Each structure stands twice: as C-alpha cells, then as structure tokens.
Amino acid sequence: MWSTQTQSQYENLRLELRRGSLVLAVLGALRREQYGYTLRKMLEEAGLPVDEGTLYPLLRRLESQGLLESQWREEDKRKKRFYRLTSAGSEIFARLIAEYRSIGEAIANLHS
C-alpha cells in the first residue's frame, strides 16, 4: 500500500507526464474537425479523459499560437465552435509525433 506522500508524488508526476502528451493527443485528434464536446468524448474513449477546465484553455492557447483555428457554426439548431488543425499545426504535429516516438523508443531501450 502506498503512503499518502508517495501517492501524491505519483499523481503530480503522472499529471506532468499527461500534460505534454495531451497537447499531442489534441493536435492529433483535430486533424479532423471537431467541436469541444465531441473532442472531449473522443479523447475519453481513446483512454485519455480530460476535464473541460483543462481542455478548453488548452484549445485557446493552441489557437492563439496559430496551431488551431476555430469557427462558430450551427449544428442541430445549436451554435457550436468547431476546431481544426492549421497547416502550421499539421507540420508541428508531424515533428512532435516523431519526437514523441523517439522518446518512447529511448525509454524502451533503457528498460530493455
């Protein structure tokens, strides 16, 4: 059984690890246009649940960095904000995913 301190250390490190990966997951998911709620559901189904208080500020940040673009449109009689990757975002995503894979490989090599 873990002590409270160990549990809290684990949680902090886990969150730190997830924070970086989440950017990658969001960029990857938005290669196809999505609105906020469906994006959240998609991430959750893929095994990466994220609360809206984390996701929406992240979307805003990525948009202000020019990696995403958004558009308000009506769907099912409701106005929704749709997000998609920009061309700069696609380029950066491709490079980041390659980096992510090489990190994964390096860690796997260290453990083998």
* Residues within the interface to another protein (CB under 8 A): 35-38, 40-41, 51-54, 56-57, 60, 72, 78-81
Give whichever of 79 and 111 is closer to another protein, judged by the CB atom: 79
- Contact predicate 26/39, CB 8 Å: yes
Taking the complex as a whole, how short is the minimal distance between the CB of residue 74 and another protein, in angstroms? 11
Give whichever of 28 and 36 is closer to another protein, judged by the CB atom: 36
Taking the complex as a whole, how short is the minimal distance between the CB of residue 44 and another protein, in angstroms? 11
Taking the complex as a whole, how short is the minimal distance between the CB of residue 110 and another protein, in angstroms? 29
d(CA 55, CA 23): 9
Nearest Cα neighbor of 30 from 71, 74, 2, 77 is: 71
Rg value, the chain, Cα: 17
Tokens found for residue 106 = 């390096």
Taking the complex as a whole, how short is the minimal distance between the CB of residue 80 and another protein, in angstroms? 6
Give whichever of 78 and 111 is closer to another protein, judged by the CB atom: 78
d(CA 12, CA 18): 10
